[in-house]
Amino acid sequence: MPRLYLDANATVPPLPEVVAVVAKALAEDWANPTSLHREGQRARFLVEEARRTIADGLRVPPGELVFCASATEALHLLIRGLRPALGDRPAVVFRGEHSACLNPLKDWRAVRWLPCPLDGAATIVQMAANNETGLLYPMPQLPGTVRIKDCAQAWGKVPVDLADCDAAVFSGHKMGGPRGAALLWLRPSLPWQPLMEGPQERRRRGGTEDLPAILGLAEAARHVPARIERNAALAALRDRLEAEVLSWSPDYEAIGRGLPRLPNTSALLLRGHTGAAVQIALDLAGFAVSTGSACHSGATEPSHAILALGFGEAEARSVIRLSLLPDTRESDVDALLQALKRTLKR
C-alpha cells in the first residue's frame, strides 16, 4: 500500500528542480566562495546571484540578507546579537512561539508574554504562522521597538510582507528547498552584533558558505508564488476534512477553525483519545501525520503552543496535526478520513 505524507509543516520533499540544482552544484560548483582565484570568484558570483534572486522575491535589498544553515540558527544569531544593546529592556513574545525563539530569549533580563502591555518593550517577536496550529498572527506595532518576524512556516504557504517588521527569519526545507539553507533578514540600522566571527556574509556569519544549499534555496524561492497559489487551494480540502471529523463527535474540535490560518494546516483536538496513539495507528495504516512540532517529537510534556491557547494538559495531549502538501488530492483526504474513523472507533 502506498504511504501518504501529511506532515508538511515538519518538512517537505525538495522540488525536483532544487534536487537538480543542488546535484549540479555539488559536482561542478564546489569551490570556496571566499577564495580569490577564478574558481572561487565564480562561486562568489553564484552566491550573490542567489542572494539577488531571493531578495527580489522578498522585496528587500540583497545586502540585508544573511545565509544561515537553519531558521533556528538565524533566530539565535538575531536575538542573541540584539541582547547586548537591548537586553536590559523586556522582550515581548507569544508563549506558543517555537523553542528556536524562546531558548535564546532565556538570556534576556525580562520577557513578557503576549497579549500584554507593550510599553517599554525593546523587541517584539511574533510568528507569522504557528507551526502546530497554523494560526496566522499580525505583528504588534509599537514605535521604538525592534519587530522580529518568524516566517519559517509562512514562507511558501501564504504571502509574506516585511513592511511591518525590522528583522525576519526563513526556512528552506519547509518550502521545497534543501535542508541546511535558511535566511536572516535584518535592517542595517539595527543595534545588532554578529556572534560568529569570520569574513563571510559581510562579517555577519562566519563559516564557508554552503553553495549547493544556497543555490537550491534560490531555486525554491523562484517557485514560491506558484507554491502559494497551490497551497491556497488546499483550504477547501482542509475545511471539508475538518467538517467530516467534527461530525463524528461533539468532543472533537479543530483548533482555530474560523480564524485566519495556513490553508494546509489542521490541528484536530480529539478529546477522549491520545494524540500519540492516534498518530502511531495512522502511521501503521500508511499515513504520516504528527502530534505537533517535529522538534518536540518524543517529548513527554504536552505542547506548550496548545497550552498557550488555554487548553488543558489532557486536551493538549489529544491533538494531532495534519499539514497537507501542495499536491494533496481529495482521494488522499478520503483515504485518511476512512483510516482515522477506524482508529477512533477502536
Which residues are known catalytic residues?
295
Positive or negative torsion for Cα 126, 129, 132, 134: positive
CA distances in angstroms from 129 to 59, 97, 270, 272, listed in the order given: 20, 10, 22, 28
How many helices, marked H, and strands, marked E, lie in the chain?
12, 12
Residues 64/186, Cβ–Cβ less than 8 Å: yes
Residues 270/278, Cβ–Cβ less than 8 Å: yes
Phi, psi (rounded to 5 degrees) for 74: -60, -45
| Rounded distance between C-alpha atoms, residue 162 and residue 173, angstroms | 20
| Rounded distance between C-alpha atoms, residue 323 and residue 231, angstroms | 11
| Rounded distance between C-alpha atoms, residue 160 and residue 71, angstroms | 16
Element (H, E) at 108: none
Q: Give every CB contact of residue 159 below 8 A, 6+ residues apart in sequence.
A: 228
Which residue is listed with cell 496548545?
306
The region that residue 244 occupies, defined by phi over 0 for left and psi between -120 and 50 for alpha, beta otherwise, is: alpha
Residues 200/206, Cβ–Cβ less than 8 Å: yes
| Rounded distance between C-alpha atoms, residue 206 and residue 222, angstroms | 26
The secondary structure of 287-309 as a DSSP string is: EE-BSS-GGGTT-SSPPHHHHTT
Query: Which cell numbers in the block locate residue 166?
Result: 525590522
